[in-house]
Amino acid sequence: MINPIYYQESGIEKINQYIKNHQPTKVIFLVDENTRELCFPKVVSELEIESETKVLEIASGEENKNLYTCISLWEALTELKIDRKSLLINIGGGVLTDMGGFVANCYKRGIAFINIPTTLLAMVDASIGGKTGVDLGSFKNQIGNFALPQMVLIEPDFIQTQSFEQIRSGFAEIIKHGLIADSNYWQKIKQIQNPDAENTGNLIETSIKIKKSVVSLDFTESGLRKILNFGHTIGHAVESFFLENQTPILHGEGVAFGMIAESYISMKKNLLSPFENEEIRNYIASIYPKLPVKQENFDKILAFMQNDKKNTRNEIRFVLLEKIGKAVYDISVENELIIEAMTQMLKD
Ligand code: GLY
């Protein structure tokens, strides 16, 4: 089970077809200050909408991905008298598509929505697969549900609206796809030293295929889908730590850190070979800046991991690598080894 994904002009055509067939009462566009200026005009100029349209804008940034923003959106939808036959079109990055999907799915028990991801991260990960939700304080995606958009439209040109750091952040999810599922893909990815719009744009389709194939086997993440969280157990905890300290880092920077540390754990668990562990560490460290994590932060970061959604009975459960291209999940890892892996990260 997964939403259809369409590309460029054929995607616009599908949205137009959907609107023609369903005749939504109103079409609401959800944008942030960046996508309103840089992406919305192109989308709206290509759509054929006869219904009344409205634009709702939220402030960009992870710090706004919370229930307070959702409440303001539900109030705005109520004020606009949006009914259940209306359509919400989310135009933005992962924060916006995660939150927009959640808002749509809860409003009057659910209205239809379409995702138009505008960041590399949202194109290859967040907008695909039906996970929606918001953060609770510093806990990432703590509140949420599974809800599928009617469709996802991928317009790779939108990546050009992003800074290099944001594109590099999305690239971490592409690296993850190679590591968990496809060693040939990893070989191709590894050639990239400069993950800019040009070098990453032609990887989008392969990454989406990998994500789609995993999600279609396990939509609600009772098993296999957990492999998509490789690098995220430590990565999310580090991200939460910096978010709480009010010095947020980009998601992919946390995931890059997490993938190196979790590869080390995979090696110590006699799964991944030392050679492959070295290969992963060297490549990822050559792309991402070193995070200012310190030994005295480890307890706090570990406490965030204790709240990870993949844990069972208070055990921290990891996705680890058996080899490049093959992940295993639900592996319990003792705190000492997690600390050891993070200590390795402090070395040059
Ligand atoms: N971002 C991981 C997943 O969609 O399962």
Distance between the two ends of the chain, CA-based, in angstroms?
44
**Confidence tier at 308 by pLDDT (50, 70, 90):** confident
**Confidence tier at 347 by pLDDT (50, 70, 90):** confident
> How far is C-alpha 178 from the chain's CA centre?
16
Residue 133: predicted pLDDT: 98
In the chain, which ranges are E strands? 5-7, 26-32, 52-58, 87-92, 112-117, 131-136, 139-146, 152-154, 317-323, 326-332
Q: What is the spatial distance between Cα 143 and Cα 83, in angstroms, rounded to a whole number? A: 24
Residue 331: predicted pLDDT: 95
Given a contact cutoff of 8 angstroms between Cβ atoms, the answer to whether 51 and 25 are in contact is yes
- Residues in contact with 343: Cβ distance below 8 Å, sequence separation at least 6, in sequence order: 295, 298
Residues 14-65: tens digit of each pLDDT = 999 999 999 999 999 999 999 999 999 999 999 999 999 999 999 999 899 9
Residue 311: predicted pLDDT: 74
Nearest to 47 by CA among 25, 29, 34, 30: 29
Residue 348: predicted pLDDT: 67
**Of all protein residues, whose CA lies closest to atom 5 belonging to ligand 1?**
228
CA dihedral 157, 161, 166, 167 (to 10 degrees): 30
For 338, the token pair is: 């997690």
Concatenated DSSP letters of 291-326: P---GGGHHHHHHHHHT-TT-BTTBPEEEEEEETTE
Given a contact cutoff of 8 angstroms between Cβ atoms, the answer to whether 259 and 284 are in contact is yes
310 within ligand 1 shell (Cβ under 6 A): no
252 within ligand 1 shell (Cβ under 6 A): no
> Strand, coil or helix: what is 133?
strand
pTM of the predicted protein model: 0.95
92 within ligand 1 shell (Cβ under 6 A): no
Q: For the chain, list the domains and their CATH numbers.
A: 5-161 (3.40.50.1970), 164-344 (1.20.1090.10)
**Confidence tier at 1 by pLDDT (50, 70, 90):** low
How many CB atoms are located within 10 Å of the residue 265 CB? 25
Of 211, 214, 255, 309, the residue with max ligand 1 atoms within 8 A of its CB, to mutate for a pocket test, comes to 211
Does the pLDDT of residue 107 top 80, yes or no? yes
**Residue 91 has what DSSP assignment?**
E
**What sign does the CA torsion over 60, 66, 69, 74 have?**
positive
Of 152, 220, 225, 259, the residue with max ligand 1 atoms within 8 A of its CB, to mutate for a pocket test, comes to 225
Residue 316: predicted pLDDT: 86
Residues 115-156: tens digit of each pLDDT = 999 999 999 999 999 999 999 998 889 999 999 999 999 999
Gyration radius of the chain's alpha carbons: 20
Of 120, 140, 228, the residue with max ligand 1 atoms within 8 A of its CB, to mutate for a pocket test, comes to 228
Compute the average pLDDT of residues 248-257: 96
